[in-house]
Structures are given as structure tokens and as C-alpha cells.
């Protein structure tokens, strides 16, 4: 049984940093992974993705240059390092995984989802 669990969210001030972790258990082989977020009254949007091999990365324009996605195969964990946080980064952050695809920035391509972790950035 596959489980995806996010951690690391919290309340920070603008300009500070957070690192989110996403542990995916039950996956025999590496999976395509993505980070999405959903702000109040907004749709769930992709912000970062990493391919199964780690060779392909994607960042949305809103986080490019500030966020970094990475993965540790030994721990079956994907990280999202978030620097220079802004109030508009406030959202619930979701991690997604799928072992059928190599890489995707589309939510519907991902089979497994975490429960989400809240990130709140105060001004």
C-alpha cells in the first residue's frame, strides 16, 4: 500500500525559509513526484516537479529562483526547499507521486496524494 506523507509546514515571516518533506512509502521503484499548492479560494496548482530519474525538474514562474525540489532515493523522500517566502505563498502544500509516469506537471497524472501541510507566511 502506497502512502504519501508531507511534513515541515508552519508559520513563518516573509523572507524566511521552510523545507517541506514528502515521504512516499510502499513504492518499490522510484516515482515521478510533484509539489502542488492550493491557496484560499484558489485551485490546486503545480509548483514543482521532479522526474523518476531526477534529471528533469519543473518550477512554476511564481516560485522559480526561490524554491528547490530534490529527492533522496535511499529515503524515498522528496524535499521542497522554500526560500524568500512571501505572503502569497500561503497555501496548503500537497505532494503527489506516480510510478506509471516518468514526469508530469499535471495533477490528474498523479495517482497518490498526501494529506497536505499548511504553510502560512505573515507579512
Which three cell numbers, joined as nine digits, stand for 111? 495517482
Res 28: pLDDT: 63
Res 115: pLDDT: 97
**Integer Cα distance of 100 and 79 in angstroms:** 21
Give the pLDDT band (50/70/90) at residue 26: confident
Statement: residue 13 has pLDDT above 90: yes
The three-class DSSP label of residue 17 is: coil
Give the pLDDT band (50/70/90) at residue 120: very high
Q: Which residue has the higher pLDDT, 16 or 30?
A: 16
**Integer Cα distance of 50 and 71 in angstroms:** 8
Statement: residue 51 has pLDDT above 90: yes
Amino acid at each position: 500500500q502506497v502512502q504519501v506523507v508531507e511534513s515541515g509546514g508552519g508559520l513563518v515571516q516573509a523572507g524566511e525559509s521552510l523545507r517541506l518533506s514528502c515521504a512516499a512509502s510502499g513504492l518499490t521503484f522510484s516515482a515521478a513526484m510533484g509539489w502542488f499548492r492550493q491557496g484560499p479560494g484558489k485551485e490546486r496548482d503545480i509548483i514543482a516537479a521532479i522526474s523518476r530519474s531526477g534529471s528533469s525538474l519543473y518550477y512554476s514562474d511564481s516560485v522559480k529562483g526561490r524554491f528547490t525540489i530534490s529527492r533522496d532515493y535511499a529515503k524515498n523522500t522528496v524535499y521542497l526547499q522554500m526560500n524568500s517566502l512571501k505572503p502569497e505563498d500561503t497555501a496548503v502544500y500537497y505532494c503527489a507521486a506516480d510510478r506509471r509516469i516518468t514526469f508530469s506537471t499535471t495533477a490528474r497524472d498523479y495517482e497518490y496524494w498526501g494529506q497536505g501541510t499548511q504553510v502560512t507566511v505573515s507579512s
